[in-house]
Amino acid sequence: DGGITQSPKYLFRKEGQNVTLSCEQNLNHDAMYWYRQDPGQGLRLIYYSQIVNDFQKGDIAEGYSVSREKKESFPLTVTSAQKNPTAFYLCASREVLAGGPGELFFGEGSRLTVL
Amino acid sequence: EDQVTQSPEALRLQEGESSSLNCSYTVSGLRGLFWYRQDPGKGPEFLFTLYSAGEEKEKERLKATLTKKESFLHITAPKPEDSATYLCAVQAWEYGNKLVFGAGTILRVKS
């Protein structure tokens, strides 16, 4: 079945460590996104990519980094510079349509906890 | 200033008690408004896309409508399995390819 796979589902990190969250899609979508979700807040955009080897900062990119070397993969690294990394992270993808917006399809999320 | 606002923050209904959730937006140049359902600990699940004022979409007990400044998600005769957080998101020309999400409405349906 086509879909988006995020791993790991749960991750614990010590302060000062970098961690990488994986996101793989087999929907053949060009665009991929990373969102952060905190209780009582809407999803906030971290980074997005419209095409391989290109990506743009979202609204809260500080302390995060991404790469887009393959169409199917968009890993997110949470660096030690991110001051409050404990959150639920969601990866999404969508087809880029010439005639208008396409809906986002989401993975199941990764919950990161800093100890 | 929030550009996408959802209300109420939380809603408790009895099974069979119909109601509506609201999503208001202040963007100009709307390209699309999206509704999602999210269960605890899961990723959001796509429900509807609305493109222009006056448009309506239906799926089982859910019906989404759109005006120039807001969208409603009507829930008719809800069941306990409709309990979830409902998110709306807006894509507008001023945002480019980004979607802006509201904070969501937590719906609880009791039997």
Given a cut of 90, is residue B85 above it in pLDDT? Answer: yes
**B37-50 pLDDT, tens per residue?**
999 999 999 999 99
Tokens 């600990």 sit on residue: B41
Q: Phi/psi at B23 (nearest 5 deg)?
A: -135, 110
Q: How far is CA A47 from CA A55, A59, A89, in A?
A: 7, 8, 12
> Are the beta carbons of A37 and A88 closer than 8 angstroms?
yes
Residue B80 structure tokens: 């306990």
Residue A16 has a pLDDT of 87
CB contact under 8 A, A31 and B87: no
Mutation target for A interface from B48, B99, B105, B106: give the one with most A CBs within 10 A.
Answer: B99
Report the candidate in A39, A45, A38, A41 with the shortest Cα–Cα distance to residue A64.
Answer: A45
Report the candidate in A74, A22, A24 with the shortest Cα–Cα distance to residue A51.
Answer: A74
- How sure is the predictor about A95, in pLDDT bands with cuts at 50, 70 and 90? confident
**B46-64 pLDDT, tens per residue?**
999 999 999 999 999 999 9
Residue B53 has a pLDDT of 93
How many helices (H) and strands (E) chain B has is answered by: 0, 11
Whether chain B has a CB inside 8 Å of the CB on A42: the answer is: yes
Whether chain B has a CB inside 8 Å of the CB on A27: the answer is: no
Given a cut of 70, is residue B32 above it in pLDDT? Answer: yes
Percent of chain A with pLDDT over 70: 96
Given a cut of 80, is residue A1 above it in pLDDT? Answer: no
Query: Beta strands of A17-66 (E only): which ranges?
Result: 19-25, 31-37, 44-51, 54-57, 64-66
Whether chain B has a CB inside 8 Å of the CB on A100: the answer is: yes
Whether chain A has a CB inside 8 Å of the CB on B34: the answer is: yes
Q: Point out the residue among A4, A40, A108 whose CB comes nearest to the CB of B103.
A: A40
Residue A99 has a pLDDT of 58
- 3-class DSSP assignment, residue A24: strand
Considering only residues B30 and A68, tell me which one the structure prediction assigns the higher pLDDT. Answer: A68
Given a cut of 80, is residue A88 above it in pLDDT? Answer: yes
Residue A99 structure tokens: 């005639």
CB contact under 8 A, A104 and B34: yes
Chain B residue at shortest CA distance from A91: B43
Please report residues of A whose CB lies closer than 8 A to that of B103. 40-42
